[in-house]
Amino acid sequence: MQAERYTLMADLFRYPTSGLPGAVRACREMLKATCPDAVPDIERFAAWVDETSLYDQEEIFTRTFHVQAICFPDLGYVIFGEDYKRGEFLVNMKREQTEAKNDCEGELPDNLVNVLTLLPLMKDHAIRDELCVRIVMPALRIMLKEFETARMALREKMLLRKHNAIVLQGRMDGNVYRNALDALLILLQSEHIEVENYVDELPVLQAFIHGVAICGTCSTLYPKILKMT
């Protein structure tokens, strides 16, 4: 099943352990066989993993996704921010995770890892594709924008003024997770290009994505807003 590839990719975004090099190798072999366009990004990430101590991997991960974060791994927050729709999205994502018996390991149900491991468990493939196109891919594009040079420079300037210290300042590997995120987005695009091309013409198949009535109808503007380039 194609969706099972995302279970492999999910391991790249877990808190680093001694198992990360093996997880990266598995992803690299999978991408070589199924999505060659993503290989350069995964190769750069793999080289960093091989050359970096576990302690430094943990530091970079934490500073990328948690403390003084470059971007956040909770997709509902990335898409909806503090809007009330994020709360509705979380409630409904929790229901989907529970129905799929997907162990969220103490993290929020919209955490990137938990969404990726949910995908192969979803029985309705049309709904799964919609989740990818309307939520996961737009969220990844937003996250990747935060790694742009100008934004990174402004972020460091603001943090330096506020905290008088930036752990990642001057580190060449401080944005290495951009490569992992980019590889994931390229894989998603390769598998959902046809759906993405006409997503604006589709009815909303699953209400949990937008936090509206279970009937599947949707009056919110989010379906068109979420299709980003």
Question: How high is the pLDDT of residue 82?
Answer: 83
Alpha helices in the chain (DSSP H): 5-10, 20-34, 39-51, 54-65, 75-80, 84-100, 112-118, 125-131, 137-145, 149-163, 177-197, 222-225
Report the distance separating Cα 25 and Cα 23, nearest Å: 5
Say whether pLDDT at 225 is over 80. no
Q: How far is CA 128 from the centre of its chain?
A: 15
Token readout for 39 is: 């290989």
On whether the CB atoms of residues 96 and 118 are closer than 8 A, the answer is: yes
On whether the CB atoms of residues 133 and 196 are closer than 8 A, the answer is: yes
Say whether pLDDT at 215 is over 50. no
Report the distance separating Cα 90 and Cα 96, nearest Å: 10
Residue 84's pLDDT band, with cuts at 50, 70 and 90, is confident
Question: How high is the pLDDT of residue 150?
Answer: 46
On whether the CB atoms of residues 130 and 109 are closer than 8 A, the answer is: no
Residue 190's pLDDT band, with cuts at 50, 70 and 90, is very high
Say whether pLDDT at 205 is over 70. no
Tell me the pLDDT tens digit for each residue of 117-163: 999 999 888 888 888 988 999 999 999 998 875 455 555 555 455 55
Q: Catalogue the E-assigned strands of the chain.
A: none
Q: Is the pTM of this model over 0.85?
A: no
Question: How high is the pLDDT of residue 219?
Answer: 34
Least confident of 70-84, 146-160, 195-209: 195-209
Say whether pLDDT at 174 is over 90. no
Closest listed residue to residue 142, CA positions, set 89, 188, 79: 79
Question: How high is the pLDDT of residue 170?
Answer: 47
Residue 56's pLDDT band, with cuts at 50, 70 and 90, is very high
Phi, psi of 95 (to 5 degrees): -60, -45
Sequence-distant (≥ 6) Cβ neighbours of residue 50 within 8 angstroms? 21
Average pLDDT over residues 155-179: 60
Residue 172's pLDDT band, with cuts at 50, 70 and 90, is low
Question: How high is the pLDDT of residue 194?
Answer: 64
